[in-house]
A and B are shown apart, each in its own frame.
Chain A
Amino acid sequence: DAEITQSPRHKITETGRQVTLACHQTWNHNNMFWYRQDLGHGLRLIHYSYGVQDTNKGEVSDGYSVSRSNTEDLPLTLESAASSQTSVYFCASSDRTGQGGYTFGSGTRLTVV
């Protein structure tokens, strides 16, 4: 069965370190998205991609970067982790029509100490 997987599920890192969160999907979806979820803020879009070599900034992109070298993967990198980036991160994917909605991964809980 097709799926979307995130790794790791939990991560603790120190302030200032570079961290990369992985997202891999086997749906063959063109679109991939990264969100963070914090109490009181709902889901906030960090970055998204509509295809290979395409990346776009979302509403909270400062301090984050992504690259899309193939259809299956959209890794999220925190260039220099800060305590404000402690959050739960969700990856999602969708097809081009938009009619199927998103398929979400199970999330990565990141703690920056």
Chain B
Amino acid sequence: NAGVMQNPRHLVRRRGQEARLRCSPMKGHSHVYWYRQLPEEGLKFMVYLQKENIIDESGMPKERFSAEFPKEGPSILRIQQVVRGDSAAYFCASSPGTGGIGEQFFGPGTRLTVL
């Protein structure tokens, strides 16, 4: 059973470009969480999704950031018009079970660098 997969592992973008980060949860998991780790800072919650639904996006910046988890395919975190402050490690985690309560399995992260 493959673990949580994220790609790309490293992404370099210039200011103003778009960044698309992908997360494939573990098989059978229908709950996905995205977290961000800014340089020298702790992890922060961004968004919680179930298949085709955003359940909690209270940690997402109001502008330029969006997330989706379609019926088929990976979850996507999209950052439009990136700025240097978006440089960070973005981790997704997936969880099984009713209500998403349970152990979370983390992906290896995508390290975004904005030049």
* A and B interact physically: no
Q: Chain B residues in contact with chain A, CB under 8 A?
A: none
